[in-house]
Amino acid sequence: MDEERKKLAKKYEKIKLITGITEGIISFIVLFLFVALGYSKKLEVYAYTFSSSPYFALLIYIFILGLASGVISFPVDYFFGYRLEHKFGLSNLTFNKWIAEGLKAAGVGIVLGVPILLLFFYFLKNYMLWWLWLGCVMVFYSVLLAQLAPILIFPIFFKFKPIENESLKQRILNLCERIGFKVKGVFTFDMSKNTKKANAAFTGLGRTKRIILGDTLISGFTEDEIETVFAHEAGHYKRGHIRKNIFISFFSTFAGLLILSKLYSFLVPKFGFTEVWEIGALPVLVLITSVFGFILKPAGAFISRKFEYEADRFAIDTTKNLPVFRSVMDKLAFQNLSGDEPNKLVEFWSHSHPSVKRRIAAAEKYYEKLVTPDQKI
């Protein structure tokens, strides 16, 4: 990127960072006061006026709280989720389409979340080891969703189709054969309907595993560059990152829920509640979880960055084309308006991907050890 684009990227990321931190702090304080000042208990009492069933009252409580939260946060979402993306030339969404996408996301969240919410409340109300039962359901549910998302959920938001470029398709198939990577399909999706950014991802498990490439990537990158991106995504699978993430998720889910249950039982009386299953006490769980998330975020970000470095090395192993790797990184940084060298503390604490500058430096170091002088491109 030229200096002007770098300044723009730095400004964009700074605004997003400050907005995210500010919104997180204010949300935490508002929710804390909502519980501490007794408004949560009042909302619980109001929810029970619609039905004596605790499960129906819970849904009423969540609906009212979610609606109020949506109304309060809408200005922030609009200015920093819609206007900001347009201001920096990254969004292709009209206002109506932006609203429609948000409603779709909310609808999918409700369909997926309500069953888990009701099961959680059932376990909380009937079992002392509610956290153990909930953990079992969450692990099963997450694995099931990982398998079904590519064929049932993602198509709600994007249209997927097999790559039509025969030359590119053959190169990718040849690469798959060379590295022993079996995949049901390589698909492109209409990412451009929402954004000018480019991206690719590995999705699914078992028979539904596939690599998806944004149409912005297909149209803006050369075949060599797309092959390198594909090799990177295949590297996540070949290096066992999916399996490792499932293991990490399994361990962290049960350990986290156990600690959460202990803290929740300790804090519930402090907020004036007598039972852990009181609906008005449930936001305390959200407060604890948000603190957990903040403290553990660097660990998750570190693991994610480690996996990205490993996938980069796999791409270099596969293509042995360092100049193309550099080109891919530079183009992605330019198109996605990513800072090439963010603040080290910010990157350590929250970035799931290493900075472009560090990724290129790591790739160059690895490339020097990998190839002999006569193999260098």
Distances (CA, A) of 77 to 72, 81, 164, 245: 10, 5, 36, 30
Q: What is the pLDDT of residues 325-336, one digit of tens each?
A: 999 999 999 999
For the segment 97-122, what is each residue's pLDDT rounded down to a tens digit? 999 999 999 999 999 999 999 999 99
Burial 86-121 (b: 16+ CB within 10 A, else e): eebebbbbeeeebeeebeeeeeeeeeeeeeebebbb
CA distance 212 to 204: 10
Mean pLDDT of 18-28: 91
Residue 264, token pair as written in the block: 């929740």
Classify 88 as helix, strand or coil. coil
Pair 124, 179: CB distance under 8 Å: no
What confidence tens digit (pLDDT) does each residue in 35-68 have?
A: 999 999 999 999 999 999 999 999 999 999 999 9
Q: Band of the pLDDT at 345, cuts 50, 70, 90?
A: confident
Cα gap 190→270, rounded to integer Å: 50
Q: What is the pLDDT of residues 205-226, one digit of tens each?
A: 777 878 889 999 999 999 999 9
Cβ 249 vs Cβ 142: under 8 Å: yes
Could you give the 3-state DSSP secondary structure of residue 201?
A: strand
pLDDT tens by residue, 131-143: 999 999 999 998 8
C-alpha to C-alpha distances, 92 to 106, 190, 292, 305, 335, nearest whole angstrom = 20, 12, 35, 29, 13
- 374 pLDDT band, cuts 50/70/90, is low
- H helices present in the chain, as ranges: 3-36, 39-47, 54-77, 84-87, 95-126, 130-148, 154-157, 166-179, 215-220, 223-238, 241-267, 282-319, 322-336, 344-350, 356-370
Tell me which residue has tokens 């492109």. 188
User: Which band of pLDDT confidence, cut at 50, 70 and 90, is reported for residue 343?
Assistant: confident
Cα–Cα distances (Å) from 365 to 143, 186, 244, 309, 362, in that order, read 36, 30, 26, 12, 5
Residue with the larger pLDDT of the pair 184 and 289:
289
User: What's the pLDDT score for residue 1?
Assistant: 66
CB 202 within 8 A of CB 233: yes
Residues 60, 67: Cα–Cα separation, whole Å: 10
> What amino acid is encoded at 247 in this protein?
F
Distances (CA, A) of 224 to 181, 190, 242, 361: 19, 21, 26, 20
- How do 186-189 and 160-162 pair as beta strands? antiparallel
Assign 344 a pLDDT band (cuts: 50, 70, 90): confident
- Please write down the HEC assignment for all residues of 41-61: HHHHHHHCCCCCCHHHHHHHH
Sole residue written with tokens 């009492």? 45
Q: Which residue has the tokens 């530079």?
A: 330
Distance (Å, whole) CA 318 – CA 175: 8
Q: Which 3 state secondary structure label does DSSP give 279?
A: helix
Identify which of 232, 233, 189 has the alpha carbon closest to the alpha carbon of residue 211: 233
Q: What is the pTM of this model?
A: 0.87
Phi-psi region of 246 (alpha: psi -120 to 50; beta: other; left: phi over 0): alpha
- Tell me which residue of 109, 116, 207 sits closest to 157, measured CA to CA: 109
